[in-house]
């Protein structure tokens, strides 16, 4: 039997790694990957509490988070492609103007 | 005991993949290490009795979403990242100790204050298959009864996402 706190610490570590990647990375695709890592960390918290409370509602929430993450990935990658067409770069330091 | 060993193996793979995502310079390496994280998370979901979510995690996350990422990385021919701006020295000097202290305090709160360390889950009942409550049948029943309206709204969300992706990725003037 694994204590619930182990799962929570693991998800906190994953979330912290996601936040660190979001802050220190300069490649826009890697920043996007860090966001997915944060979502996965939160999902683990949902599943752990669902197992503790013997309730399936947490699983449904994780399902919806996955749907939103898939939609977000599709739209975000389309935006990345559109930005790359106009700027010819993926570095967020070079994408510093609102105009095209 | 077996559950603990499995948990520690997959937790180590998760943390190792997450740190590898931070360390790697090339985005394709980061994407592949994120696949390792998602696969190990699917196995941890199985330890927690979430059969349906483990399958969806592998199919949707490690499958569809990451294939999309790898596809875009290769389509845009993304190379090693170049650093134009460097973070301020003060931010690094203050940020790293603050991060360590904050994580330590959070871990202490999680393990000591709430008494969650006495709540043990993911035991042999789940591994024997007698206590699996997150099977597709149960999740589907709940999804199509209590959460029917949110489920239908997600279909609208996905439709909007498809149209948005097509409009955004289209070339100008088409």
Residues 6+ apart with CB under 8 A from A16: B99, B103
Lowest mean pLDDT segment, chosen from A7-16, A65-74, A83-92, B107-116: B107-116
By Cβ distance, the residue of A9, A17, A73 closest to B19 is A17
CA distance B174 to B170: 7
End-to-end CA distance of chain A: 56
Q: pTM (2 decimals)?
A: 0.87
- Can you tell me the mean pLDDT for A28-34? 93
CB neighbour class for B159 (10 Å; exposed up to 12, middle 13-18, buried from 19):
exposed
- State the pLDDT at residue B174: 59
Give the residue from chain A lying closest to B168, CA to CA. A78
CATH architecture, range B2-79+86-169? Up-down Bundle (1.20)
**pLDDT for the residue B10:** 94
ipTM value, please give it.
0.91
Each residue's pLDDT tens digit, B82-141: 776 666 778 778 878 888 888 888 777 777 765 665 666 665 555 555 566 778 888 899
Nearest CA in chain B to A17: B18
Alpha-carbon dihedral angle through residues A33, A49, B152, A35, given to the nearest 10 degrees: -10
Q: Lowest-confidence range among A28-32, A45-49, A96-100, B83-87? A: B83-87
Q: Locate the chain A residue with the closest alpha carbon to B17.
A: A14
Asked if B30 has any chain A CB less than 8 Å from its own CB, the reply is yes
Mutation target among B142, B161, B164, B171 for the A interface, most CBs of A within 10 A: B161
By DSSP bridging, strand A2-3 and strand B120-121 are: antiparallel
Mean pLDDT (chain A, rounded): 89
**Residues 6 or more apart whose Cβ sits within 8 Å of residue A67:** B154, B157, B158
Shortest Cα–Cα distance, B40 to chain A (Å) = 11
β-pair partners for A2: B121
**Phi, psi angles (nearest 5°) of residue B48:** -90, 5
Give the per-residue pLDDT at B105.
Answer: 83
- In chain A, where the domains are located: 4-87
Report the C-alpha gap between B33 and A36 in whole angstroms: 12
Does the pLDDT of residue B39 top 80, yes or no? yes
Give the angle A29-A34-A35 at the CA atoms, nearest 5°.
95
Mean pLDDT of B138-147: 90
Residues in A touching B64 (Cβ below 8 Å) = 70
Contact B17, B36 (CB under 8 A): yes
Q: Which residue has the higher pLDDT, B69 or A90?
A: B69
pLDDT digits (tens, 9 = 90+) for A46-71: 999 998 888 889 999 999 999 999 99
Which residue matches tokens 């498809």? B162
Q: Which residue has the higher pLDDT, B145 or B87?
A: B145
Domain boundaries, chain B: 2-79+86-169
| Nearest chain B CA: its distance from A100 CA (Å) | 12
Q: Indicate the CATH number for domain A4-87.
A: 1.10.287.3510
Contact B45, B7 (CB under 8 A): no
Give B46-63 pLDDT, tens digit per residue: 988 888 999 999 999 999
């Amino acid at each position: 039997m694994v204590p619930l706190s182990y799962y929570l610490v693991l998800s906190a570590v994953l979330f912290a790694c996601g936040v660190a990647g979001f802050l220190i990375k300069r490649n826009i695709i890697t920043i996007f990957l860090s966001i997915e890592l944060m979502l996965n960390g939160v999902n683990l918290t949902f599943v752990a509490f669902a197992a503790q409370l013997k309730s399936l509602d947490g699983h449904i929430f994780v399902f919806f988070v996955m749907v939103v993450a898939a939609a977000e990935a599709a739209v975000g990658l389309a935006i990345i492609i559109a930005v790359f067409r106009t700027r010819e770069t993926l570095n967020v330091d070079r994408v510093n103007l609102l105009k095209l | 005991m077996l559950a603990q060993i499995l948990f520690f193996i997959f937790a180590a793979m998760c943390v190792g993949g997450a740190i590898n995502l931070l360390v790697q310079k090339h985005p394709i390496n980061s994407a592949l290490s994120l696949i390792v994280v998602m696969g190990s998370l699917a196995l941890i979901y199985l330890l927690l009795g979430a059969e349906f979510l483990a399958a969806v995690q592998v199919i949707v996350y490690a499958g569809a979403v990451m294939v999309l990422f790898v596809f875009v990385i290769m389509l845009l021919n993304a190379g090693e990242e170049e650093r134009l701006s460097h973070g301020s020295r003060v931010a690094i000097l203050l940020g790293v100790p603050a991060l360590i202290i904050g994580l330590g305090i959070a871990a202490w709160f999680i393990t000591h204050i709430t008494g969650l360390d006495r709540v043990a889950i993911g035991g042999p009942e789940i591994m024997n298959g007698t206590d699996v409550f997150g099977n597709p049948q149960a999740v589907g029943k709940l999804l199509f009864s209590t959460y029917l309206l949110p489920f239908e709204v997600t279909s609208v969300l996905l439709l909007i996402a498809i149209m948005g992706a097509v409009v955004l990725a289209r070339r100008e003037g088409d």
